[in-house]
């Protein structure tokens, strides 16, 4: 059964299955009618052309709140030698030093944005590797890319530096560049004798510039690593009031259970928002040559949800040494997160993890199917979760402002001229 062709003009989509939280703040999926007039959802009108959608599941435009557009698609010229986290770090460092001109980063960013748009994503936060001199290049370029995509994808960026960088003078320059471009202050935390000083310096820089924060945290299967607790406690101790997002949190999955759950209590008290990146975690974590992985790295999303911590899921890396695959497709993220994290058979409404929670975590416009909201919809040829996740939904319809977008994906050959190995 194919999805119907939608007529132009004033239409009413009957018998659509949508997330209730985007309609009236309810829970789960509900069947409803949506009227579209002048590019917006509207109150029902007697002269609207009705279209029977036969139960098709539909979602507002997705939000992909943790990506690395600057790293994307370098795989053909700089692959990960062994699939490990260390291998990824070394490979990306080599590639960025040698190759990340504004022209190179822009072309690869645009490729990812075209894919995301075609798949139905309307807002993205990307991290930008920001150790000098890359910070000047990428932050110089970012406002131009954001302007070019305005009206199609809302773009945010967060700087990405190692936590020892927070104690350098160069970090102040990075923070200024970030603030100047309306960005988010971000860094990677790992165990260090100076961690508290690094965190304090980081939050001082964020407070001075009025910036939200976004951390890469404990992306390791070492059960002794718990910088998450230090971040949460520092947010409480400082009374930091702006939004704080923490991503990955893989070590929680192998940590002593009592310590892990106590840490989550502190995270809840600190008001942190969590983003889990399960596809990238599956690729990198617990990888050892010739040994089958036992631990899959996904963080404790059910235990977080039980504490009221807003949990989100996102793409993370795309065809780069941190993740060899990926296509900026939030339906893939949804499908994989559900399978990897056992989000099915759960009492929680996980549709919020791709829509309402990431919008609130980043400050993007809240997803809404209510009258006057932009008529942005991803309509799938599926009437239930089992139909939705069984197939890749390559035949989905993506509406933006009430009109179907061209869903043609960019051709990988577009980037061939940038891919000669150095």
Task: Give the CB-nearest residue to Zn ion.
Answer: 316
Question: How far is residue 116's CA from residue 108's CA, in Å, rounded to a whole number?
Answer: 13
Six-digit token string for 267? 């995270």
Interface stretch with Zn ion, choices 3-11, 173-181, 310-318, 346-354 (CB under 5 A): 310-318
CB of 236 to Zn ion, least distance (A): 25
CB of 217 to Zn ion, least distance (A): 10
The beta-strand segments (E) located in 161-315 are 185-189, 213-217, 244-248, 273-276, 311-313
Question: How far is residue 228's CA from residue 223's CA, in Å, rounded to a whole number?
Answer: 12
Interface stretch with Zn ion, choices 135-143, 297-305, 308-316, 327-335 (CB under 5 A): 308-316
CB of 231 to Zn ion, least distance (A): 16
CB-nearer residue toward Zn ion: 316 or 320: 316
219, 332, 365, 420: which one is catalytic? 219
* DSSP of 92-143: HHHHHHHH--HHHHHHHHHHHHHHHHHHTEEEEEEEEE-STTHHHHHHHHHH
CB-nearer residue toward Zn ion: 263 or 317: 317
CB of 279 to Zn ion, least distance (A): 11
Strand partners, 213: 185, 244
Interface stretch with Zn ion, choices 118-126, 175-183, 311-319, 355-363 (CB under 5 A): 311-319
Task: Compute CA 9 distance to the chain's CA centroid, rounded to the nearest angstrom.
Answer: 33
Strand partners, 385: none
CB-nearer residue toward Zn ion: 120 or 247: 247
Q: Assess contact for 333 and 120: CB atoms under 8 A.
A: no
Six-digit token string for 350? 């996980």
CB of 322 to Zn ion, least distance (A): 7
Six-digit token string for 196? 């508290």
* Helix 227-238 / helix 195-209 crossing angle, nearest 10 deg: 50
Residue with tokens 């970090």: 171
CB-nearer residue toward Zn ion: 37 or 157: 157
Count of residues in contact with Zn ion, rule CB under 5 A? 1
∠ CA(186), CA(188), CA(191), 5° rounding? 140
DSSP, collapsed to helix, strand or coil, labels residue 257 as helix
Q: What track of x and - describes contact with Zn ion for positions 261 through 300 (by CB under 5 A)?
A: ----------------------------------------
User: Which residues lie below 8 Å from residue 274, measured CB to CB, with a gap of 6+?
Assistant: 245, 246, 247, 249, 267, 299, 301, 304, 309, 310, 311, 312
Q: Assess contact for 41 and 371: CB atoms under 8 A.
A: yes
CB of 174 to Zn ion, least distance (A): 17
Interface stretch with Zn ion, choices 57-65, 113-121, 312-320, 411-419 (CB under 5 A): 312-320
CB of 344 to Zn ion, least distance (A): 26
219 belongs to the catalytic site: yes
CB-nearer residue toward Zn ion: 41 or 323: 323
Q: Count other Cβ atoms within 10 Å, centred on residue 211.
A: 22
CB-nearer residue toward Zn ion: 283 or 389: 283
Question: How far is residue 190's CA from residue 201's CA, in Å, rounded to a whole number?
Answer: 15
Question: How far is residue 63's CA from residue 362's CA, in Å, rounded to a whole number?
Answer: 9
Residues 313-332 close enough to bind Zn ion by CB under 5 A: 316
The residues that touch Zn ion, with contacts defined as CB under 5 A, are: 316
Q: Give catalytic residue positions.
A: 219
């Amino acid at each position: 059964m194919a999805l119907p062709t939608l007529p132009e003009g004033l239409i009413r989509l009957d018998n659509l299955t949508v997330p209730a939280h985007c309609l009236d703040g309810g829970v789960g999926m509900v069947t409803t009618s949506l009227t579209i007039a002048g590019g917006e959802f509207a109150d029902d009108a007697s002269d609207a052309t009705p279209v029977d959608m036969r139960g098709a599941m539909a979602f507002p435009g997705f939000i992909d709140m943790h990506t690395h557009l600057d790293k994307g698609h370098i795989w053909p010229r700089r692959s990960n030698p062994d699939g490990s986290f260390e291998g990824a770090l070394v490979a990306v460092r080599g590639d960025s030093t040698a190759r990340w001109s504004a022209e190179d980063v822009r072309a690869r960013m645009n490729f990812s944005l075209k894919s995301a748009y075609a798949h139905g994503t309307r807002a993205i936060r990307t991290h930008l590797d920001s150790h000098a001199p890359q910070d000047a290049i990428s932050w110089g370029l970012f406002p131009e890319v954001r302007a070019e995509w305005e009206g199609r994808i809302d773009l945010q960026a967060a700087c990405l530096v190692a936590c020892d960088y927070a104690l350098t003078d160069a970090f102040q320059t990075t923070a200024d560049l970030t603030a100047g471009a309306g960005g988010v202050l971000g860094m990677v935390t790992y165990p260090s004798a100076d961690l508290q000083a690094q965190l304090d310096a980081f939050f001082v820089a964020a407070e001075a510039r009025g910036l939200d924060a976004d951390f890469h945290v404990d992306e390791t299967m070492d059960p002794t690593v718990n910088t998450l607790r230090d971040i949460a406690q520092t947010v409480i101790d400082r009374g930091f009031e702006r939004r704080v997002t923490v991503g990955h949190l893989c070590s929680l999955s192998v940590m002593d259970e009592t310590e892990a759950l106590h840490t989550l209590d502190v995270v809840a008290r600190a008001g942190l928002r969590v983003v889990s990146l399960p596809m990238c975690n599956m690729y990198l974590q617990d990888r050892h040559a010739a040994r089958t992985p036992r631990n899959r790295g996904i963080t404790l999303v059910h235990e977080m949800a039980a504490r009221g911590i807003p949990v989100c899921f996102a793409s993370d890396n795309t065809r780069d040494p941190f993740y060899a695959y990926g296509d900026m497709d939030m339906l893939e993220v949804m499908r994989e997160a559900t399978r990897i994290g056992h989000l099915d058979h759960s009492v929680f409404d996980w549709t919020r993890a791709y829509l309402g929670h990431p919008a609130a975590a980043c400050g993007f416009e809240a997803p809404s199917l209510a009258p006057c909201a932009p008529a942005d919809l991803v309509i799938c040829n599926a009437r239930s979760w089992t139909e939705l996740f069984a197939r890749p939904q390559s035949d989905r319809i993506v509406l933006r402002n009430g009109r179907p977008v061209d869903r043609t994906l960019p051709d990988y050959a577009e980037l061939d001229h940038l891919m000669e190995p150095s």
